[in-house]
Chains A and B, each alone.
Chain A
Amino acid sequence: MDEVKNILSNFIDREYKFGFYTEIEEETSPIGLNEEIIKWISAKKDEPEWILEWRLKAFRYWLSMKEPHWANVKYQPIDYQSIYYYSSPKRKERNGDSDGIDLELLRTYEKLGIPLQEREILAGVAVDAVFDSASVATTFKAKLKELGIIFCPISEAIRNYPDLVKQYLGSVVPANDNFFAALNSAVFSDGTFCYVPKGIKCPVELSTYFRINAAKLGQFERTLIIADEGAYVSYLEGCTAPMRDENQLHAAVVELVALDNAQIKYSTVQNWYPGDKEGRGGIYNFVTKRGKCLGKNSKISWTQIETGSAITWKYPSVLLIGDNSIGEFYSVAVVNNHQQADTGTKMIHLGNNTRSTIISKGISAGYGQNSYRGLVSIKKSAENARNFSRCDSLLIGNKCGAHTFPYIEVKNSTAKVEHEATTSKIGEDQIFYCQQRGLSIEDAVNMIVNGFCKEVIKNLPMEFAVEAQKLLGVSLEGSVG
């Protein structure tokens, strides 16, 4: 009995496979944050005046705001003056798809399983690769352009498509939305911009691969996706970072806008460095993600597999403004060792016949603490709104925790809101049952965990679903034998 207990409670020696560091010459901003640094970043990116003004305004908001501490997570105070806010690999001027990428960078991405050279690019997937503060390669760009789809680094969009950016940047997550969003708005570096024109179904998966490499660097990417009337796009992001003893800050903002009859499917496989088994190091992942179903019959769907980061603070949300619009949130959050996650969603119903679905699966192991925090708000204007929420927690061992904070606000009596929640433990009985049929303990735990997460994983694009299943397996490695 002790054997299985030990195996399950000690999620030790979990191997982080992406913890290497790339030796590359980078250009880095002076340490700390003030208006001069923001001007430095803006100049480095060759930005027009209006965006610098936008950044400075956000910075002034930020100075007046306080870091939020309502989440169920504990960490040492962050010293915002000991962080580098910008660092990018030195390289030749980029023109075209993969020209001029440093060989070291190509090797880095190859090691991460993301080939960037044109002849090897992933079939059916267009990739934007963001290394520290800069986008280093975007594949498939020309082909997408033929369909009128814009898929490029946001810094490029600011220069080339200022009208679109001006119209939508900050329209979903305003610069003064919250402390971390304000910080991001002031110092954001690269991220992806995507615009899918009227009636176009984007034929490939769009994806961004975020990599933090430099030490003491904060990554502040900004992503903006717009699906025009009747358009469809599926987007996926992946994230990794080297293993380091210090904590690193990642504060991203993602904004989605869906117009009439448009659909956006946004998937995340988050595997930032989670820290070591004593809880040293790891990424602080403080992220604001929000989508606006602006048009009627529009749909925004968030799917996230969160296995990394020392601390995760994120609530991908949907504002359901258009009549008959649909918001979905499917989440798997795994915490192990000393990881902490406070994650969930907000579904704000404003339009008539709006519907939302929330499926959250939390897995806690080691000393990990996992909280689901969600808000379902039915405003007075929303007739016949529907919500279904389900939060399931799976505990592995006796030292971890699972917490659920569901908030429901209903201002319209025609609403129907359902909430279900369960908590279970991986039982020794389940494991023995699998073993008795010939499966190893490791395979048994894998199977049980994947079964638990199935409803979420099936919402990922096919090729990523397989990756996600493997990642869950890796997260459990070392815990079981």
Chain B
Amino acid sequence: MSLLEIKNLHAGINGNDILKGINLEVNLGEVHAIMGPNGSGKSTLAGVIAGRNEYEIKLGQILYKNKDLSKMTPEERAREGIFLAFQYPVEIPGVTNLYFLKSAFNAIRKYRGLEEVDTLEFLSVVRNGAELVGLDESFLNRPVNEGFSGGEKKRNEVLQMAILQPTLSILDETDSGLDIDALKTIAEGVNKMHSDSNAIVIVTHYQRLLNYIMPDYVHVLIDGKIVKSGDKNLALVLEDKGYDWLKVQDAK
């Protein structure tokens, strides 16, 4: 059984078709990269999997652990182990990062029939995570994403991922806005978290993150369709040749 199976997925927003027949299979232990030019539908795909409700599924199916995702609320998907690292993490003024993370952690534990943890226990969990992504402890008491730099926001996303330990992580443009040092730290963090019991889908424009997180598969998304799939070498070809040669091929 595959972890995630997308079959002939057509989806859009406000009546516009964005995804026009996606097929994708992700198994435990795998890292997939989805690449493509601006506006090709990469973020839409990530949003549809996470359950962002402005998107409408018109045709096709998404199965996660053999369950139909379209029948699950976004929070149920999260509690079942789907994690989306946001391209634009959202600010929540007045709510500390620590409180937010603990609430999320406990909501997921409760769903899984585990006992909720208190602040003290949670602090030790969160400290390990903060170290992993190179974040200072003081930021735990700052409001969620408020006043964070671009880099801090992205690190915070990966910290949340480390703490919530999802089965399927989708990193949406996590590399954008990061300097090379931050990129390396985050990539190292993600690599440490990756194991045979989870899977990662990286959505990105550029190949550079893939220097640090090695994908097993690379898919090229253009105009709502996966036009080419390959191994990590495909990313290098894209870096070299761009996307235009694939667009031409697609036109034929």
Interface of A toward B, CB cutoff 8 Å: 1, 3-4, 427-430, 432-441, 443, 447-448, 450-455
- Whether A429 lies near B90 (C-beta < 8 A) is yes
Q: When A439-B104, A443-B107, A451-B95 are in contact, do A427 and B90 touch as well, CB less than 8 Å?
A: yes
Is B180 close to A, CB under 8 A? no
Contacts of B111 in A (CB 8 A): 438
Residues on B with C-beta less than 8 A from A3 are 53
| A393–chain B nearest beta-carbon distance, Å | 13
Q: Please determine whether A447 and B95 come into contact, CB atoms closer than 8 angstroms.
A: yes
| Interface 9-mer from B2-10, B37-45, B78-86, B244-252 | B78-86
Binary flags per residue of B134-157, CB closer than 8 Å to A gives 1, else 0: 000000000100000000000000
Residues of B near A433 (CB, < 8 A) are: 86, 89-90, 92
User: Which B residues touch A441, using CB under 8 A?
Assistant: 75
Contact A448 B95 (CB under 8 A): yes
The chain B residues found within 8 Å of chain A, CB to CB, are: 50-54, 73-75, 77-79, 83-84, 86, 89-95, 99-100, 103-104, 107-108, 111, 143, 160, 164
Q: Which residues of B contact A455 (CB under 8 A)?
A: 94
C-alpha spacing A4/B164, complex, angstroms: 25
The residues of B that contact A451 with a CB separation of less than 8 Å are 92-95, 143
Interface pair B50/A436, CB less than 8 Å apart: yes
- Name the contact of A437 in the complex, choosing from B52, B73, B104, B143 (C-beta under 8 A): B104
Closest Cβ of chain B: how far from A391's Cβ, in Å? Answer: 15
Of the residues A1, A428, A439, contact of B75 by C-beta under 8 Å: A439
Are the CB atoms of B90 and A430 closer together than 8 Å? yes
B75 touching A440, Cβ below 8 Å: yes
Cα distance, A1 to B14, chains bound together (Å): 10
The answer for the CA separation of A403 and B248 in the assembled complex, in Å, is 56
Inter-subunit contact A437/B90 (CB<8 Å):
no
Q: Are A436 and B103 in contact (CB under 8 A)?
A: no
Q: Is the CB of A439 within 8 A of B93?
A: no
* Minimum C-beta distance from A456 to chain B (A): 10
Q: Please measure, in the bound complex, the distance between the C-alpha atom of A435 and the C-alpha atom of B91, giving whole angstroms.
A: 14
Contact B90–A1 (Cβ < 8 Å): no
Partner of A438 from B75, B91, B95 at Cβ < 8 Å = B75
Interchain residue pairs with CB less than 8 A apart (12): A433-B92, A436-B50, A436-B51, A436-B84, A437-B100, A437-B160, A439-B107, A447-B92, A447-B95, A450-B94, A451-B92, A451-B94
A residues in contact with B75, CB < 8 Å = 435-436, 438-441
Q: How far is the CA of A198 from the CA of B78 in the complex (A)?
A: 59
Given contacts A437-B78, A438-B108, A448-B95, A443 and B103 within 8 Å (CB-CB): yes
Q: In the complex, are the beta carbons of A435 and B90 less than 8 A apart?
A: no
**A438 engages B90 (CB within 8 Å):** no
Contact residue among B51, B78, B79, B94 (Cβ-Cβ distance under 8 Å from A452): B94
Q: Which residues of B contact A450 (CB under 8 A)?
A: 94-95
Instruction: Report how far A432 CA is from B53 CA in the complex, Å.
Output: 8
Whether B94 and A432, one on each chain, are in contact in the complex, defined by CB atoms closer than 8 angstroms, is no
Residue of B nearest to A394 (CB): B93
Q: Which 3 A-B pairs have the closest CB atoms?
A: A451-B94, A451-B95, A437-B104
- For the complex, what is the distance from the CA of A432 to the CA of B75, rounded to whole Å? 9
**A438-B79, A441-B75 provided; 7 other pairs, C-beta below 8 A?**
A429-B90, A433-B86, A437-B107, A437-B160, A438-B75, A439-B75, A451-B95
Contacts of A435 in B (CB 8 A): 51, 73-75, 78
User: In the docked arrangement, what's the CA distance between A450 and B83, Å?
Assistant: 25
Q: Write out the residue numbers on chain B whose beta carbons fall within 8 Å of the beta carbon of A429.
A: 90
Cα distance, A451 to B94, chains bound together (Å): 4
- Give Cα A450–Cα B103 distance, bound, in whole angstroms: 14
CB contacts (< 8 Å) of A453 on chain B: these are: 94
**B52 — nearest CB in chain A belongs to which residue?**
A432
- Whole-angstrom distance between the Cβ of B226 and the nearest chain A Cβ: 24
Question: How far does the alpha carbon of A440 sit from the alpha carbon of B108 in the complex, in Å?
Answer: 11
Across the interface, which residues of A come within 8 angstroms of B54, CB to CB? 1, 428
What distance in Å separates the Cβ of B228 from its nearest Cβ neighbour in chain A? 29
List, in ascending order, chain B residues with CB within 8 A of A436's CB: 50-51, 74-75, 77-78, 83-84, 86
Complex-state Cα separation, A1 to B15, whole angstroms:
13
Q: B159: shortest Cβ distance to chain A, in Å?
A: 12
A95 to chain B minimum Cβ distance, whole angstroms, is 47
Known: A435-B73, A435-B78, A447-B100. A1 touches B53 (CB 8 A): yes
Nearest opposing residue in chain A for B111, CB measure: A438
**A1-B53, A432-B52, A451-B143 known; A438-B92 Cβ under 8 A:** no
User: Which chain A residue lies CB-closest to B104?
Assistant: A437
What residue of chain B has the Cβ atom nearest to residue A457's Cβ? Answer: B94
CA distance A243 to B135 in the complex (A): 52
Residues of A within 8 A of B86 (CB): 433, 436
Distance of A439 Cα from B102 Cα, bound (Å): 11
Chain B residues whose C-beta falls within 8 Å of the C-beta of A452 in the assembled complex:
93-94
Residues of A within 8 A of B52 (CB): 432
Bound-state Cα–Cα, A434 to B103, Å: 10
**With contact pairs A1-B53, A427-B90, A453-B94 given, residues A432 and B143 touching in the complex (Cβ less than 8 Å):** no
Task: Provide the bound-state CA to CA distance between A432 and B91, in Å.
Answer: 12
- Contact at A432–B93, with CB atoms within 8 Å? no
In the complex, what distance in Å separates the CA atom of A180 from the CA atom of B96? 42
Please determine whether A447 and B103 come into contact, CB atoms closer than 8 angstroms.
yes
Q: Bound state CA distance, A437 and B94, in angstroms?
A: 18
Chain A residues positioned under 8 Å from B107 (CB to CB) = 437-440, 443
A257 to B61, CA, bound (A): 69
Shortest CB distance B141–A (Å): 12
Alpha-carbon distance between A447 and B93 when the two chains are bound, in angstroms:
10
Distance from B84 Cβ to chain A, minimum over Cβ atoms (Å): 5
- Choose among B89, B103, B143 the residue that contacts A439 (Cβ–Cβ < 8 A): B103
Give A433 to B146 CA distance when docked, in angstroms.
14
A129 to chain B, nearest CB (A): 34
Q: How far is the CB of B82 from chain A (nearest CB, A)?
A: 8
Chain B residues with Cβ below 8 Å from A437 are 78, 100, 104, 107, 160, 164
